[in-house]
Amino acid sequence: MTSPGPKPRRGDEPRPGPPARHGSSDRKTRVTVLVALGANLMIAVAKAVGGLFAGSPALLSEAAHSVADSVNEIFLLAALRRSRRPADRRHPFGYGKERFFWSLLAAVGIFVMGGCFSFFQGFEALQGGAKESHEGYVAGLVVLAVALVSEGVSLVRALHQVHRQGGTAAQGLRDPALRTVVAEDSTAVLGVVLAMVGMALHMVTGNVVWEASASLAIGALLVYVAYRLGRDAREQLIGQAADPELSDRIRQLLEVQPEIDSVEELLTMQLGLDSILVAARVDVVPGLDSEEVEEISLRIRHSLMHAVPEADQIFLDITDASIHAAGRRTNGDTTSPAATGERGGA
């Protein structure tokens, strides 16, 4: 007769995967990223060849921009794959924050490979390092025109998914991978326009300052976009709270429970695109025994998870309202139950 295996610890048991709608969104986002990657790879080669042939700093800056975008899209593909790994003993809350980490690397890539190289090209042109010949500039402008169309198609695809996924820009851009693609494509379209204007003015006036200025403007644009994307990823990596409207909804769901006297504290944290940690300290009505408290905790958790599917990690710290009030009168403060030994969670 074999002895039963060790009892699984909390956090080791398998958890249900994300809802199907999020899997579908991931597939659509992956297609959007692949479309952007294919467009950027072809455009990067065309811009690099045209920039070297024409000796155009603006066109070379745009080539560096496209290379940076291509590398970043590889990062985003890694984010989409790795963030969906199931929770395990080492990472009991799952791998959802991988999405934010790779988005941070993409922001660094935009800054280093795109912004810094564009600044370098602009300053070198101002110092007289760029050739003054306009040979090949017509071909360069044709390359940029084709790039403008390609980047525009990629941007339209990304914006279409934003609309389909969230209904509004604010909701659809919750996905950091999709947000990065939209930011890259929007910047790419504006960067191509700046490069075309700079090259055209250089041809008309014979003054390389116009093209150098275009390179510097592209660099400044990329640095700004990298800063915004990096700031958003940083906030999510260090533990950003859930959307205020969602937090208010969770609080209201707790407050309407007949057994809950009051919600003393509610903390939320975004664990991934569709995963939220909820920790609540609540006072229940007097007179409930331990078995009733446990049943109530399970029911409330299931009710919250059904009403808010994203809230897949819920911890309730339950105290008796009368005992809690007596403790306040005695101690003259609101010491946390975790410090006084009153903790009772589910």
DSSP per residue over 66-86, as a string?
A: HHHHHHHHHHHHHHHHHTTPP
Pick from 309, 24, 20: nearest CA to 164: 24
- Residue 22 confidence (pLDDT): 52
- DSSP count for the chain of H helices, then E strands: 12, 3
Cβ-in-10-Å burial (0-12, 13-18, 19+) of 319 comes to: buried
Strand order across the beta sheet in which 313-320 lies: 260-272, 275-284, 313-320
Distance CA 167, CA 171 (A): 7
CA nearest to 236, candidates 107, 71, 78: 107
Rounded Cα distance between 312 and 16, Å, is 9
Which H helix or E strand runs over 296? helix 290-307
Hey, what are 209's tokens? Answer: 């300052």
pLDDT of residue 117: 83
Residues 25 and 171 sit within 8 Å (Cβ to Cβ): no
- Measured CA to CA, the distance from residue 17 to residue 6 in angstroms comes to 25
Give me the residue label for tokens 């055209």. Answer: 200
Give the pLDDT of residue 266.
93
Task: Give the pLDDT of residue 267.
Answer: 92
Over residues 334-344, the pLDDT tens digits come to 444 433 333 33
Q: Is 262 helix (H, G, I), strand (E, B) or coil?
A: strand
Pick from 122, 134, 277, 120: nearest CA to 202: 134
d(CA 85, CA 53): 46
Residues of the chain with pLDDT below 70 are 1-25, 128-136, 165-174, 320-346
Q: How far apart are CA 42 and CA 250, in angstroms?
A: 47
- CB neighbours of 272 closer than 8 A, spacing ≥ 6? 83, 94, 95, 96, 97, 99
pLDDT value at residue 143: 84
Per-residue pLDDT, 135: 61
Amino acid at 249: R
